[in-house]
Amino acid sequence: MMDWEEYQRVTYGEPPSSNIVTFLTHQNPKTAIDLGCGCGNDTVYMVKKGINVIAIDLFLNKNYILDRLTEEEKERVSFIEGNFEEIELPKTDVVVANNSLAFCSLNNFEKLWQKIYDALNDKGFFVGHFVSKDDIRTQKNGICSFTLEETKKHLENYYIVSFIEVKKERKDKQEESDIFSIVAQKRS
């Protein structure tokens, strides 16, 4: 079992995910949900870009986010602590799910994926990661993962804006991660 407190401590202050940075150079959403926000690197980036963000995490440490925001910026962030499989998602312009969907129970994934779709406003965006079945972590940690074909099937109700397979060596150099980094717009 992963020590989430340690994970958040180690990743605190890292740059935001490249897919959200690229997305925000082309789009200007007003609202976002950061699903599985971790220590809040993507949340902080979005808030600083003027977006109202709901940060959701089962192991939420609000201070990791609030400590990096001005008083004015703090007014643009709200928090929900809980399991994102069970939380009702409000309507939003974008759902960000970087490094989080993999921790959804495979039995609950289809329901969660439908909730994400339903939460998106007309022509809203999904920005996030799917873990590839080729990722070594899937064999030992019970990570929710998909083949390339399965991932693309999940995106049938979206226009794919960006779809990049990212393979990289992890910080501990013990394993390689293999993810699909996605930006997709809900079809109207």
Beta bridge partners of 95: 33, 126
Q: Which residue has the tokens 């998909």?
A: 146
Domain count along the chain: 1
Taking residue 54's Cβ as centre, other Cβ atoms within 10 Å add up to 20
Place of tokens 């340690």: 6
Q: What gap in Å lies between CA 8 and CA 67, rounded to an integer?
A: 14
Q: Using alpha carbons, list the distances in angstroms from residue 39 to 45, 63, 154.
A: 12, 9, 27
Residues 146 and 172 sit within 8 Å (Cβ to Cβ): no
What pLDDT score was predicted for residue 2?
58
Alpha helices in the chain (DSSP H): 4-11, 18-26, 41-48, 62-66, 71-74, 109-119, 137-141, 148-154
Query: Cα separation of 54 and 92, whole Å?
Result: 9
Range of the domain at 114: 4-11+18-186
CATH code where residue 113 lies: 3.40.50.150
pLDDT at position 19, please?
96
Whether the model clears a pTM of 0.75, i.e. scores above it, the answer is yes
pLDDT in tens, the chain (188 residues): 456 676 666 766 778 999 999 999 999 999 999 998 987 999 999 999 999 999 999 888 888 899 999 999 999 999 999 988 899 999 999 999 998 898 888 889 999 999 999 999 999 999 999 988 776 666 666 678 899 999 999 999 999 999 999 887 655 555 566 889 999 999 98
Answer yes or no: are the C-beta atoms of 120 and 167 closer than 8 Å.
no
Residue 77: which H helix or E strand, with range? strand 77-81
CA pair distance 46, 29, nearest whole angstrom = 9
